[in-house]
């Protein structure tokens, strides 16, 4: 039902000017101050829209016609851009994307963090902002009895069948197409998530950018995989650089991709890749950044902000598989990493061993509990690095960091909104945000990573 105070009605057709862009790529037009969100419209454009939904404080509309086009508008190279939910910004030039992400970070820091004057640098982008993803997780299903594999349509569970993806490495496209072809050949049924029937749920492909090694993961509903021997032989024949073929079994009714049971069908348990000089072993379920080229840019910036002189003790909270820890260890006296996921800590220890890095220790547990224990043992870090999930840091962790009184805090963030919230807390408790560097880890999408440097004010 249309709200009484809204100046627009459902199905109304309007001529509007777009003033802004949301972080997920929707144009924003205002009618008497009432915002309408319109997919694939850009700031500065005028156009005709049809209102499709009206809520109390905002509404949604469909773009019918653009009457004045932005100079930043680009032609999306992907034929299914309008249907697929994977990318939001292909219609915006890459230069426009980088500027938009900087603007978004600046505005969020001011609005949520009260940080109007903090220095925000221009977004660090890629020379080639396509084909950067080293990992594809592609759902498999059926459409009228025909096997399909692709990405989900925006805000739905309908699979859009596709031959290739413009942001995936070409090797991942090859894996998906080969498995799709062989599954059809050997009568392997796609998964129906409504009826919880079928065999093949997902194809996961992992590619080592520097090594060109490939891992193929077949996620199945049960242990049964028809024609397994032939399937393995043909995958090896069609994909010469495959080093690992793995089956993961997920019998549950769930949106989660992986099940608990993983079995190597052929080859190695891991593939390898490098970020800078650090070598990483990547298993089917390892967390590993999907854009290793920009990960190095991000971590180099974190290292710069840590400003290490080989005399410091550093704590890396939310250390994951040790990616940042191992970078820091090259310039620190000692690095202590903590992470709640036991498998990640196991990977971190293996990666340290792989690189013969000995000045790191890793602990399993909640950072806000492990760090005070370290403090009680006499650990006094000069630098604390945090790289939390999207929800940001727990307040208890922020409090723990403040109590440890490091000279510098380096905050790596995948969500500018929670970064702003947490910086506000740290600013109120003896730290000053010196600068923030946005890094474009996911070109063509609305996501932006940031690295922030905070210095102790001495108060």
- DSSP E strands, 308-351: 313-317, 334-339
User: Secondary structure of 48-92 in the HEC alphabet?
Assistant: EEEEEEECCCCEEEEEEEEEECCCCECCCCCCCCCCECCCCCCCE
**Would you call 265 exposed, middle or buried from its count of C-beta atoms within 10 A (0-12, 13-18, 19+)?**
middle
User: Are 54 and 7 a contacting pair, CB within 8 Å?
Assistant: no
What distance separates the 2 farthest-apart alpha carbons in the chain?
A: 70
Backbone φ/ψ region at 217: left (φ over 0), alpha (ψ -120 to 50), beta: beta
- Angstrom distances, CA of residue 19 to CA of 31, 46, 328: 11, 9, 42
Cα–Cα distance between 38 and 127 in angstroms, integer?
29
Cα atoms in the 13 Å half-sphere on the side-chain side of 335: 31
Active site residue 414: yes
Six token digits for residue 389: 């999930």
Distance CA 83, CA 39 (A): 11
Annotated catalytic residue, options 78, 393, 414, 450: 414
H or E element, residue 106: helix 94-113
The edge-to-edge listing of strands for the beta sheet with 383-386 is: 119-120, 431-439, 449-456, 408-413, 383-386, 313-317, 334-339, 360-364
**Dihedral angle sign, alpha carbons of residues 107, 113, 116, 119:** negative
Catalytic residues: 414
């Amino acid at each position: 039902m249309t709200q009484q105070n809204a100046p627009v009605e459902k199905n109304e057709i309007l001529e509007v000017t777009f003033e802004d862009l949301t972080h997920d790529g929707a144009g924003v037009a205002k009618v008497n101050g009432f915002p309408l969100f319109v997919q694939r419209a850009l700031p500065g454009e005028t156009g005709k829209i049809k209102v499709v939904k009206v809520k109390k404080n905002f509404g949604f509309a469909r773009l019918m016609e653009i009457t004045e086009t932005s100079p930043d508008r680009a032609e999306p190279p992907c034929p299914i851009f309008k249907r697929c939910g994977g990318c939001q910004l292909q219609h915006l030039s890459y230069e426009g994307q980088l500027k938009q992400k900087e603007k978004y970070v600046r505005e969020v820091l001011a609005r949520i963090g009260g940080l109007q004057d903090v220095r925000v640098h221009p977004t660090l982008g890629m020379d080639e902002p396509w084909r950067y993803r080293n990992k594809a997780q592609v759902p498999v299903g059926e459409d009228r009895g025909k096997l399909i594999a692709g990405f989900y349509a925006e805000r739905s569970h309908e699979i859009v069948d596709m031959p290739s993806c413009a942001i995936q490495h070409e090797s991942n496209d090859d894996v998906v197409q080969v498995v799709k072809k062989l599954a059809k050949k050997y009568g392997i049924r796609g998964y129906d998530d409504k009826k919880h029937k079928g065999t093949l749920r997902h194809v996961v492909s992992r590619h080592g950018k520097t090594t060109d090694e490939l891992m193929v993961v077949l996620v199945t509903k049960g242990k049964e995989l028809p024609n397994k021997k032939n399937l393995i032989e043909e995958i090896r024949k069609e994909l010469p650089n495959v080093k690992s073929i793995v089956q993961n079994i997920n019998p549950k009714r769930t949106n989660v991709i992986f099940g608990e049971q993983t079995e190597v069908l052929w080859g190695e348990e891991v593939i390898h890749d490098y970020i800078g000089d650090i070598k990483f072993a990547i298993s089917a379920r390892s967390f590993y950044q999907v854009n290793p080229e920009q990960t190095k840019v991000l971590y180099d910036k974190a290292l710069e902000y840590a400003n290490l002189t080989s005399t410091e003790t550093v704590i890396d909270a939310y250390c994951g598989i040790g990616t940042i820890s191992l970078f820091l260890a090259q310039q620190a006296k000692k690095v202590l990493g903590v992470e709640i996921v036991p498998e990640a800590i196991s990977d971190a220890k293996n990666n340290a061993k792989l690189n013969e890095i000995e000045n790191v220790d890793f602990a399993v547990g909640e950072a806000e509990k492990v760090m005070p224990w370290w403090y009680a043992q006499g650990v006094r870090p000069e630098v604390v690095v945090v790289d939390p999930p999207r929800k940001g840091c727990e307040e208890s962790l922020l409090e723990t960091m403040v109590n440890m009184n490091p000279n510098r805090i380096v905050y790596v963030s995948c969500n500018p909104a929670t970064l702003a919230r947490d910086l506000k807390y740290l600013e109120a408790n003896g730290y000053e945000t010196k600068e923030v560097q946005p890094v474009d880890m996911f070109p063509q999408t609305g996501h932006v990573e940031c690295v922030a440097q905070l210095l102790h004010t001495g108060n």
